[in-house]
């Protein structure tokens, strides 16, 4: 078996495993996902998967397929069990993501597509960061820490290395690990 396939399988395994505690804690009512974030992330993961496949990512694209399915499931769960306090900043983030999606639709450039979807991915973090800053115990740190590791492994599983194939996973390593650290820091400060 080719080593990139093995790394792709490891990335997918870590990705799947990372969603299990998150899903369980959401069902129990401990974790309260923000529906806007998970809607944005599910749509963007699907677009990223398609872009990576067309860019020749190979096994490096598999984690985007897992993220698409997992994010959509959590989005559905968030509608019932998630954050109910929706504020103006959340709506602005969703609007910014929608405007960016429209810009993506107008572009024919694979590079611009990846840049725009990565920006939208970051917009998805805004409602969750806002919510979690004040209630860090309502998020599951392990998901974001493991997702960062999964995206890191994905970078090594790429068949083709270009901005198109690596930009989004690279930014997701930084975004997920930064958010995990934010959660730990806020919990320490608030002693939750």
Confidence band, pLDDT 50/70/90 cuts, at residue 144? very high
- Name the token pair of 170: 């690279």
Average pLDDT over residues 139-152: 92
User: CA–CA distance from 61 to each of 20, 22, 57, 134, 145 (Å)?
Assistant: 21, 22, 6, 34, 19
192 pLDDT band, cuts 50/70/90, is low
pLDDT tens-digit series, residues 89-141: 888 888 887 887 777 778 777 788 888 888 888 988 999 999 999 999 999 99
Mean per-residue pLDDT over the chain, rounded: 88
In the prediction, which pLDDT does 47 show?
Answer: 82
Q: Would you state the pLDDT for residue 46? A: 87
Average pLDDT over residues 15-23: 90
In this prediction the pTM is 0.82
From 52, 74, 77, select the one nearest 63 (Cα to Cα).
Answer: 52
Which stretches within 28-157 are classed as H helix? 35-54, 62-81, 88-106, 110-134, 141-157
Q: Tell me 191's DSSP state.
A: T
Q: Between 142 and 98, where is the model more confident?
A: 142
Tens-digit pLDDT profile for residues 51-76: 778 777 788 788 889 989 999 999 99
């Amino acid at each position: 078996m080719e080593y990139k396939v093995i790394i792709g399988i490891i990335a997918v395994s870590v990705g799947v495993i990372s969603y299990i505690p998150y899903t369980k804690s959401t069902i129990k009512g401990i974790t309260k996902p923000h529906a806007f974030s998970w809607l944005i992330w599910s749509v963007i993961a699907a677009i990223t998967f398609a872009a990576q496949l067309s860019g020749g990512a190979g096994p490096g694209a598999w984690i985007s397929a897992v993220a698409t399915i997992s994010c959509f499931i959590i989005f559905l769960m968030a509608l019932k069990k998630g954050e109910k306090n929706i504020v103006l900043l959340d709506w602005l983030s969703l609007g910014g993501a929608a405007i960016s999606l429209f810009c993506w639709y107008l572009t024919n450039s694979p590079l611009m597509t990846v840049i725009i979807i990565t920006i939208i991915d970051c917009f998805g973090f805004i409602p969750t960061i806002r919510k979690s800053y004040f209630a860090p115990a309502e998020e599951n740190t392990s998901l974001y820490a493991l997702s960062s590791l999964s995206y890191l492994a994905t970078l090594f599983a790429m068949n083709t290395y270009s901005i198109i194939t690596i930009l989004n996973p690279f930014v997701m390593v930084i975004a997920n690990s930064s958010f995990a650290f934010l959660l730990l820091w806020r919990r320490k400060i608030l002693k939750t």
